Structure 1
Amino acid sequence: MDYESDRVLKLIFSNDVPGYDRDKDEISLYLTKLGNYKIGQLKKEENRLEDENKLIEDQTLDLAVLNYRTIIQTSDCSKKIYAGFVKTENRVENLLQPLSVLEEKCQRFLESTADINSKKNLNLSTSKNYKKVLEILEIPQLMEYYINEGHYEEALELASYVQKLGTKHSEIGVIKGVVLAVEKNWHSLLIKFLDELKTDLQLPKCLQVFGHLRRMQAFGSNELKLIFLHTRDTWLNNLLSSIPKDDAQNHLTKTIEVTRINVFNIMTQYKALFPNEDVGVSSNFGSCEGKKLFNTWLNKKIETFLNTLEEDLNRGVSSLDTALGQCMYFGGSFSRIGVDFRALVVSIFVRVITKNFVDKIINVNTNFDYDMKNFTLVNSSTITLHQKIRSTLVMGEVNATDLSPPESLLDYTPLAILCNGYLSALSELMLCAPISLVFDVVNTLERSLERVSHGIYQLYKREKQVFSAIQRENFIKFLSSFAYDLCPYIQRCLQAVFPQQVLANHLGITLLELQNERISFMNQNSILDPIKNLLPERLSSKN
């Protein structure tokens, strides 16, 4: 409908047009029809409309009268229908309330049925592939069987297969369980390989075990070297600790043999396992680089051996020269690989020999002090008897090469026991007497004799007031025997232990220069200084 039609309608109807939205097209047609009427027709149109409206009302009334019963029934039916709709609405509302719960339960049911369906499909698939699943589930048991039976190649292949299977199907629970079980067996296999390295392995077996460790790819290059050295060191330490320690000589001999043989075996195995690495002495022992590991371990083994050597020597071995020869052979064999530790061995022997000699001399002096406390000058008859025995011997001074003890010492028990103690210490030293000890030995004997001289002087101070003429004469002879028999005799024994020609050749000097420098000679004046005023004038002038 156009704008002009709207204006006409507003002129006709001051308010809204009744039924405009419903009869919009009819009203538009009627307005068009009105627009075609003449004035006379327009004047009659109002009366016509009133007549038509009255006619319609009469017809409606007649229709209502004629159909009154129907209208009443229709009204009652409408009420009933309305009441039914109200009841239906209430019931629908009551029905809608549990429908939400029912919907949720139905949704859950659908989800559960879907899960059941998936499980059903899974079970069907599992039943179809039962043999394959069973084979996968039996892999851990099969690997354990291979490990127990020693089939390490097959066990490693199974572990590699399961590792790939786990990477490909990591979301499957069964595969995860199999992977975890195989990893446990894999770790037990790794521990078994490490335990085998702690046993007595020959080179082929060692190469085989280490090949398996490399295939497992559990360690890097330096870690493999550390593991090899640690496990073999554990085995070697257990072997050394099993040697009985009751006899020091036997323990030292077996320690040398076990250490020398097995360290060389470990060295051979190490070279075979790591052929691109040099084995020899290195100055950087604190480094963790691959090339330094073995050298550090080797130096540690040498240090351990030297500690054991010193402990056994201090405990006392029956033959120092035998032990020294074995150690020199041991060190010499290691010199072929640049690990000559003989100088360290010598220093230990020198230290132990010196300690043993000093301890023996100290013990000799202690015994002498004890003997001097109980010593009384012998009577003249005993001295005369020994003098008669000496008169039957060849007269004259004892030459420098005579090493038999002076007969005069038999007159005095403390001096005889003292001489025996010195001879025992020097005899033991002579079996293994390093030339470098000559100064220490000379100084030790010199201090010992000075202590003896001082002890004799203390005896004189203690007993001089009660000396009889015979006792004084015997005491003078006692002094003479110590000063002119025992001291020169010990000097000759000392030169027998350290021959002057050997010392001269070692030092690169002549015998005359050696004697002028007083090398290997005790200071007699220092020794006799406490008793020099008590010696007879004749003997003093002779000295």
Structure 2
Amino acid sequence: MELNNDNILNVLLSPGTFLEEPESIDYISNLGNIGLEKLSYEPDNLKEENERLMQQKQELAFSNYKTFIQTAECSREIGKKFFETESNLDIVIAELPKLSETCSQLSVVGAEVDGNRKLNSLVLSKHSDLLRLLELPQLMDSWIKNRKFEEALELSSYVKWLGKKYGHIGIIQSIVSDFEASWEAMLYQLIAQLRYDLQLPECLEVVGYVRRMEVFSDAELRLKFLQTRDFWFQNLLSTIPKTDGYQYVLKVIELTRMHLFKIITQYRAIFSDEESVVPLKNCDVNETTIFYSWLNEKISQFISTLDDPEITKNISSLDSIMIESMNFGQSFSRVGADFRGLIACKFIRIIEQNFEYAIRKVNKKFELEMEKFVISKTSPKEKFKGNYELKPEQPPNCLALFYPLAIYTNGVLTAFNDLRECAPLSIADFVTNTIQESLKFCSKVILQFYKQEQAFDSAEKEKFSIFCGCFQILVNYLQECLHAIFPLDAIAHHLGIPVHQLQKEGLTFIDESVILDQLSHLMPEMKPVM
């Protein structure tokens, strides 16, 4: 019965024996082929072979002793290195998550760097375009400085479009911000131009630019235009010297008439009120009232000039001022603002104030002269006669006998002469009352003088009696002067009443009894005849 090699191996080898090398397997496989005789010598052969190999091994060990030592040392070093490597490997394994995270971050940064590199490359390729874009604010400032507002407006429109479309880009935001500052500077420069003397074409151009900037509503633009033009107008008026009230008012009238019409013409050429006529419920501001409110304020400002006492008291020729002012007021009827009615009452008040001021000075002068007056030094050449013929153009000669009366008469006549140049009929009663109060004051001063000089001798009493008689003549003379300035026929026609009614009502008539009542006992026996 034949056995295969595997079965023989299983029989010869004890369980658990494991042959790995192919030579061992081949040797054992060949044992079955050598025969019994050779097989009996096989142990000796193996022993000899073992001895021979041991001999060779010893020789090899002796001949390669250093090599073995080095090999052992290398093995030991390799063992150490492997131990260190194992330790480092543990560290590496522990750090691997961090390394992985860092690598991920590096990948992200690398992607950003790559994106920035591509962006920088794109920026470099678009360098000239970007440079022109960055120079836009500088170009805007240059055009504004050189007053090229048309180009500046077009450029600003382009930048606004850029801001709306690419406002999320930082550089565009910066450019838009710079343009806003330039925009304000341009608006300020345009508004500032309106504060100077401009002709109509220039005003149209400047306001056109401001309107295209769309900063103001139409009502606000109207108001801003009037404010700036008024600033220039007020500066013009402020240059007029006030040393001569007459010349000052004439110059104010001239400049106001000239330049207000100029501003009005410019306003009406720029703003069309017809286009803005809409129902009030559709607009917050009645734009027409802006202009007329401003015009009313300018008229009030001119009229207030006549309220300044430092100016009006120095006016030497009020009639010419009033004529110029009336013509000025009438000229404004072309724009629906005839203000002659407002001026008339102002001039009446000025005339009254000036006349009252002049009479107060005369009263004060008379009082001072009476304090220095010495009745004994007067020397009337004849007895008092009361039948003097009174003519307004020639004062009675008897008044020259007593210098206080003469000085008073001259002062009142001077006031009358100033009044005669411009004497409205409406102030006739005021003038009459003022003269009457002045004469009452003089009467009190005369009576006080008499009381202080009780020790009159007969000659002095006669002289004082003549003095009182002359004062009575003065009262009647001033009455004639009043009627010369304010004729009774003219007053009656003005009031629409007959002449006798004037006397009955006491209009323009001095009440002689009120003035002379306290001096009646001092009057001479013969009274003057009217």
TM over 0.5: yes
- Equivalent in 414, 437, 457 of residue 447 of structure 1: 437
Q: Tell me the CA shift for residue 517 of structure 1.
A: 2.9
Aligned pair 1:474/2:463, yes or no? yes
C-alpha distance in 1 between matches for 2:508 and 2:17:
171
Give the equivalent residue in structure 2 for 1:155: 152
Q: Tell me the CA shift for residue 101 of structure 1.
A: 3.0
C-alpha distance in 1 between matches for 2:238 and 2:475:
48
- Equivalent in 316, 321, 324 of residue 323 of structure 1: 321
Kindly tell me: are residues 326 and 91 of structure 1, through their superposed partners in 2, closer, same or farther at Cα, counting changes over 3 Å? same
Q: Tell me the CA shift for residue 104 of structure 1.
A: 3.4
Q: Tell me the CA shift for residue 60 of structure 1.
A: 13
Q: How does 1:60-99 map to 2 (within 5 A)?
A: 62-64=14-16, 91-99=88-96
Q: Which amino acid in the other structure matches residue 413 of structure 1?
A: Y
Q: Tell me the CA shift for residue 92 of structure 1.
A: 4.2
Aligned pair 1:356/2:347, yes or no? no
Q: Tell me the CA shift for residue 451 of structure 1.
A: 1.0
- Equivalent in 502, 524, 527 of residue 536 of structure 1: 524
Give the equivalent residue in structure 2 for 1:398: 389
Give the equivalent residue in structure 1 for 2:405: 415
Give the equivalent residue in structure 2 for 1:487: 475
Q: Which amino acid in the other structure matches residue 420 of structure 2?
A: M
C-alpha distance in 2 between matches for 1:516 and 1:120:
113
Q: Which amino acid in the other structure matches residue 389 of structure 2?
A: V
Q: Tell me the CA shift for residue 278 of structure 1.
A: 9.4
Q: How does 1:265-304 map to 2 (within 5 A)?
A: 265-277=262-274, 288-304=285-301
Kindly tell me: are residues 68 and 430 of structure 1, through their superposed partners in 2, closer, same or farther at Cα, counting changes over 3 Å? closer
C-alpha RMSD of the superposition: 2.9
Structure with more relative contact order (C-alpha pairs < 8 Å, separation 6 or more) = 2
C-alpha distance in 2 between matches for 1:443 and 1:60:
173
Kindly tell me: are residues 498 and 61 of structure 1, through their superposed partners in 2, closer, same or farther at Cα, counting changes over 3 Å? farther
Aligned pair 1:170/2:167, yes or no? yes
C-alpha distance after superposition, 1:475-522 (max 9, x if no partner)? 111111111x21111111111111222212211223333333332110
Q: Is the 8 A contact 1:364 1:421 kept in 2?
A: yes
Give the equivalent residue in structure 2 for 1:375: 373
Q: Is the 8 A contact 1:353 1:429 kept in 2?
A: yes
C-alpha distance in 1 between matches for 2:375 and 2:290:
70
Q: Which amino acid in the other structure matches residue 491 of structure 1?
A: Q
Q: Tell me the CA shift for residue 223 of structure 1.
A: 1.2
Q: Is the 8 A contact 1:378 1:411 kept in 2?
A: no
Q: Tell me the CA shift for residue 337 of structure 1.
A: 2.4
Q: Is the 8 A contact 2:233 2:259 kept in 1?
A: yes
Q: Which amino acid in the other structure matches residue 498 of structure 1?
A: F
C-alpha distance after superposition, 1:359-398 (max 9, x if no partner)? 1111111111111111111447x322xx59x99xxx9641
- Equivalent in 225, 228, 235 of residue 222 of structure 2: 225
Give the equivalent residue in structure 1 for 2:101: 104
Q: Is the 8 A contact 1:365 1:418 kept in 2?
A: yes
Kindly tell me: are residues 506 and 228 of structure 1, through their superposed partners in 2, closer, same or farther at Cα, counting changes over 3 Å? same
Aligned pair 1:512/2:512, yes or no? no
C-alpha distance in 2 between matches for 1:88 and 1:461:
144
Q: Is the 8 A contact 2:242 2:311 kept in 1?
A: no
Kindly tell me: are residues 471 and 278 of structure 1, through their superposed partners in 2, closer, same or farther at Cα, counting changes over 3 Å? farther
1:243 aligns to what SS in structure 2?
A: coil
C-alpha distance in 1 between matches for 2:84 and 2:387:
162
C-alpha distance in 1 between matches for 2:452 and 2:360:
23
C-alpha distance in 1 between matches for 2:265 and 2:356:
43
Aligned pair 1:212/2:209, yes or no? yes
C-alpha distance in 1 between matches for 2:419 and 2:398:
25
My pick for the range that moved more, 336-345 or 415-424, is 336-345
- Equivalent in 433, 457, 479 of residue 423 of structure 2: 433
C-alpha distance in 2 between matches for 1:353 and 1:329:
19
Kindly tell me: are residues 86 and 535 of structure 1, through their superposed partners in 2, closer, same or farther at Cα, counting changes over 3 Å? same
Q: Is the 8 A contact 1:403 1:492 kept in 2?
A: no
Q: Is the 8 A contact 1:378 1:412 kept in 2?
A: no
Q: Tell me the CA shift for residue 536 of structure 1.
A: 2.6
Give the equivalent residue in structure 2 for 1:146: 143
Q: Tell me the CA shift for residue 402 of structure 1.
A: 4.4
Q: Tell me the CA shift for residue 90 of structure 1.
A: 5.7
Give the equivalent residue in structure 1 for 2:511: 523
Q: Tell me the CA shift for residue 89 of structure 1.
A: 7.3
Q: Which amino acid in the other structure matches residue 483 of structure 2?
A: Q
C-alpha distance in 1 between matches for 2:275 and 2:302:
23
C-alpha distance in 1 between matches for 2:12 and 2:287:
120
Q: Tell me the CA shift for residue 102 of structure 1.
A: 2.4
Give the equivalent residue in structure 2 for 1:262: 259
C-alpha distance in 1 between matches for 2:526 and 2:239:
66
The list of structure 1 runs, each at least 4 consecutive aligned residues, that deviate by more than 3 angstroms after superposition, is 58-61, 65-69, 84-93, 312-315
- Give structure 1 stretches of 5+ with no counterpart: 1-57, 70-83, 280-286
C-alpha distance in 2 between matches for 1:444 and 1:169:
83
C-alpha distance in 1 between matches for 2:105 and 2:236:
71
Q: Tell me the CA shift for residue 344 of structure 1.
A: 1.4
Kindly tell me: are residues 104 and 250 of structure 1, through their superposed partners in 2, closer, same or farther at Cα, counting changes over 3 Å? farther
Q: Which amino acid in the other structure matches residue 399 of structure 2?
A: L
C-alpha distance in 2 between matches for 1:66 and 1:171:
80
C-alpha distance in 1 between matches for 2:328 and 2:457:
65
Q: Is the 8 A contact 2:366 2:407 kept in 1?
A: yes
Q: Which amino acid in the other structure matches residue 396 of structure 2?
A: P
Q: Is the 8 A contact 1:403 1:489 kept in 2?
A: no
C-alpha distance in 1 between matches for 2:88 and 2:325:
112
Give the equivalent residue in structure 2 for 1:183: 180
Q: Tell me the CA shift for residue 174 of structure 1.
A: 2.2
Kindly tell me: are residues 61 and 302 of structure 1, through their superposed partners in 2, closer, same or farther at Cα, counting changes over 3 Å? farther
Q: Tell me the CA shift for residue 457 of structure 1.
A: 1.2
C-alpha distance in 2 between matches for 1:237 and 1:494:
42
Q: Which amino acid in the other structure matches residue 440 of structure 1?
A: F
- Equivalent in 341, 344, 348 of residue 343 of structure 1: 341
Give the equivalent residue in structure 2 for 1:22: none
Q: Tell me the CA shift for residue 85 of structure 1.
A: 11
C-alpha distance in 2 between matches for 1:315 and 1:445:
20
